[in-house]
Amino acid sequence: MHGGFVGYGMLDAACPGEVFTSPVPDQMIEAGKGVDGGAGVLHIVKNYTGDVLNFEMAAELCADEGVEVASVLVNDDVAVRDSLYTAGRRGTGATLFVEKIAGALAETGAPLADVARIGREVNERSRSFGVALTPCTVPAAGKPTFELGDTEIELGIGIHGEPGRTRTSHGEAREIVRPAMGAIHDDLPLSGETLVLVNGMGGTPLMELYILFAEVFAYLQEKGATAVRSLVGNYVTSLDMQGFSVTVCQLTDELSRLWDAPVDPRAPLGPMTTAREEPLVDTPFFLAWIEEIATAVQAERDRLTELDAAIGDADHGANLDRGFMAVRQALADGPPGTHGAVLVLAGSTLIRKVGGASGPLYGTAFRQMGRTLGEPPEVALAELAAAFDAALAGVQKLGGAAEGDKTMEDALAAAAAVAVAVAAEASRPWQPSSTPPKRPGPSASSDQPASWGDHTLLGVITHRTA
């Protein structure tokens, strides 16, 4: 579960145990030391006895290593007070809420105590209830964890395949959702703005989960509450179990803001390190890139032509498509051996085949990139960023427009800025909570009338009718 939530805005590390078994302290110690930047580490622990004991032990051992640890215990499940795995309520879907919201606050540089506080607040304001249509099968056991008849469902199950608190017969979605939501509402009366997770247990089709969400939404409205934020999908699962769980968190302005904060979870594919090798790009990369551009132009040909028709030309899509078809053919006839030559050939072909203003401008961009990169077999990201800057400079010199004039240079300037930011990020030692480069774009001028080129006419029309 948690490995997929490692990344910007969420977790810095995850410690997987065996199936339905807690991780061991050694894992947590190494993870804690690996991600600690000096401000301490927050342990987010679901309330299962093995998890609690092992994380408590790990916290003590981390302290011996000089790593400060705070903990948030997640115990949101209202179905049972004690189970085969817990003393008290189980931790289930609210774990995801805690990880996202606490992670967002951590990205701001907030102190460890504040991050722990917000995590505990999320847990206190969240409740969950699970329903199983089938049991799950643990691979080591090779048989279901409990038995259910063909027409039976289990209310109140956990995420480790534990049976629930009662059984009933299959029914329509409304008949299944209402007992689950009723149990949540009885424990924490629902009101105001809420965050809702309708979570698949692993074997439930997404379409059915959305049907269940519609019933959850209707129930909340009956109680005077509103689902203003929601997730529907398989997030906190129980192997192949068919079923679902519902988690509801009563939001505050602060929690809503943190939930909405940017997030980019990506599980690490290799061992955690403090340094990384800078990526290099080669000729096949540029060939594939040009092919991707040509495919996109072909797919958007009619739309580009329609947009261009607003100023009378109605030729932009057709011209660009013709140019990139010619580039494809030129590269297929005999692609040059270096990326610099590939880009120069693409640019020269566009100049010869496109016509109008687009041919010289797009052609210049590619030619300037190729000349800047030259002939080495591979280029680093910093060199690629320099090539984008050269393309931008060439287009600005030829066309006379500047960034903010609402021309193609806005998009090219944004691409150049991203390339510079990515290159700078790749050259730094890796830190688990490093902020990814921001992605600037042409949106800053999207609501302004154009001030250069033929599209100044379109800009005036748009301005007058707005």
Which positions are annotated as active-site residues? 160
Contacts of 10 (CB under 8 A, 6+ apart): 99, 100, 103, 263, 265
Q: What is the separation, in whole angstroms, between the first and last Cα of the chain?
A: 48
**Token match 């599980």: residue?**
267
HSE on the CB side for 419, CA within 13 Å?
21
User: Are the C-beta atoms of residues 258 and 101 closer than 8 Å to each other?
Assistant: yes
CA distances from 369 to 225, 327, 328, 411, 461 (A): 56, 16, 18, 16, 35
Kindly tell me the sign of the dihedral angle through the C-alpha atoms of 11, 16, 19, 21: negative
For residues 6 and 267, give the distance between their C-alpha atoms in angstroms, rounded to a whole number. 5
In single-letter form, the type of residue at position 370 comes to G
CA distances from 277 to 36, 380, 428 (A): 22, 11, 10
Return all residues near 435 (Cβ < 8 A) that are at least 6 apart: 8, 107
CA distance 139 to 137: 6
Q: How far is CA 389 from the centre of its chain?
A: 29
